[in-house]
C-alpha cells in the first residue's frame, strides 16, 4: 500500500513519542492551573497558541539540568525506527507536523539518531536567566485560515492533490485527518473520527501500522 501514496505525515506528541511531551512537561513543572487552561482550550474558549503561552508562564524555578533530564526520559513509540526504515525503502518522504515545541522535537530526534527527519512545529526559545529558565513561544507555521487556529496549521503543509498517509492521536490532528488518504488514529483523534464518521485504522504503536500495511501486501 506504500506504493499508492506520495508521502507520510505524522503527529509527534503521543504518536511518535509514547507520551505527550508537552502535556507531561506541564504536568511535571507547571503550576496546577495549567489544567484549567488546558480545559479552556479543549472547550474552545481559547486557541492552542494562547493556551501554550499561558501555560509556559506557569512554569517557575525550572533549571536547565531538570529540563534536559526530562527530555532524556522521553521514549519514542515502539516500531517507529522500523517504520522509518520501511518508508525509506519505499522512497516515501516522512514529515512530522506538530503543534508542539521544536526545542523538544529536535532534541528527541537527535537523541534517537533521527535528526534527518524534517518537521514543522512551534518555535520555543529557552532562556537561561539567573539560574532558572524562561521561555518565548512563536508560531512560524501558523495560518490565518486554519480551521482550528493552531500554532502549526498542519493542513497548510500538505501539497495540493497529494496522496498521503497520516497518523495522529490528538485534537490538533482533527482537520488534517479528514484530508488524509489513509488515516491511523487513536485516543481523542479516534473519538473525533468516530463522532464525525471519518474512516480510520486504529493503532497503538508503529508495529500496528506496519502490520496493517503488511496484510495489505505492501511490505
pLDDT digits (tens, 9 = 90+) for 196-214: 999 999 999 999 999 999 8
Q: What is the domain-level CATH number for residue 157?
A: 3.40.50.1000
Q: Is residue 167 a part of any domain in this protein?
A: yes
Phi and psi torsions of 139, nearest 5°: -130, 75
pLDDT value for 71: 98
Whether 159 maps to a domain, the answer reads: yes
pLDDT computed for residue 4 by the predictor: 83
28 within a domain of the structure (yes/no): no
The residue among 18, 20, 5, 185 whose CA lies nearest residue 101 is: 20
- In the predicted model, residues of the chain with pLDDT beneath 70 are 1, 216-219
Residue 59 in any domain: the answer is: no
Classify residue 153: in a domain, yes or no: yes
Instruction: Give residue 201's domain range.
Output: 2-18+77-215
The pLDDT assigned to 216 comes to: 66
Whether 186 is in a domain gets the answer: yes
Cα(13)–Cα(156) distance, integer angstroms: 19
- 111 part of a folded domain: yes
pTM, full prediction? 0.95
To the nearest 5 percent, what fractions of the chain are helix, strand and coil? Answer: 40, 20, 40
The predicted pLDDT at position 218 comes to 53
Task: Please write down the HEC assignment for all residues of 134-194.
Answer: EEEEECCCCCCCCCCCCCCCCHHHCCCCCCEEEEECCHHHHHHHCCCCEEEECHHHHHHHH
In this structure, is residue 65 part of a structural domain?
Answer: no
Angle between helices 102-111 and 21-29 (to 10 degrees): 110
Domain count, the chain: 1
Amino acid at each position: 500500500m506504500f506504493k499508492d501514496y506520495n508521502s507520510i505525515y505524522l503527529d509527534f506528541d503521543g504518536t511518535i513519542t509514547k507520551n505527550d511531551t508537552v502535556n507531561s512537561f506541564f504536568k511535571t513543572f507547571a503550576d496546577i492551573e495549567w489544567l484549567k487552561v488546558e480545559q479552556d482550550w479543549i472547550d474552545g474558549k481559547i486557541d492552542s497558541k494562547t493556551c501554550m503561552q499561558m501555560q509556559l508562564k506557569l512554569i517557575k524555578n525550572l533549571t536547565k539540568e531538570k529540563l534536559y533530564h526530562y527530555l532524556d526520559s522521553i521514549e519514542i513509540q515502539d516500531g517507529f525506527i522500523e517504520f522509518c526504515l520501511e518508508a525509506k525503502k519505499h522512497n516515501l518522504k516522512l514529515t512530522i507536523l506538530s503543534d508542539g515545541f521544536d526545542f523538544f522535537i529536535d532534541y528527541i530526534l537527535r537523541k534517537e539518531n533521527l535528526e534527518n527527519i524534517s518537521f514543522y512545529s512551534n518555535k520555543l526559545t529557552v532562556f537561561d536567566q539567573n539560574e532558572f529558565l524562561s521561555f518565548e513561544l512563536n508560531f512560524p507555521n501558523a495560518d490565518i485560515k486554519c480551521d482550528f487556529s493552531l500554532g502549526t496549521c498542519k493542513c497548510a503543509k500538505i501539497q495540493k492533490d497529494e496522496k498521503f498517509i497520516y497518523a495522529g492521536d490528538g485534537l490538533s490532528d482533527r482537520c488534517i485527518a479528514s484530508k488524509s488518504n489513509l488515516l491511523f488514529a487513536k485516543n481523542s483523534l479516534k473519538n473525533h473520527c468516530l463522532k464525525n464518521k471519518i474512516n480510520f485504522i486504529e493503532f497503538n504503536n508503529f508495529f500496528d501500522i506496519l502490520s496493517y500495511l503488511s496484510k495489505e501486501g505492501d511490505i
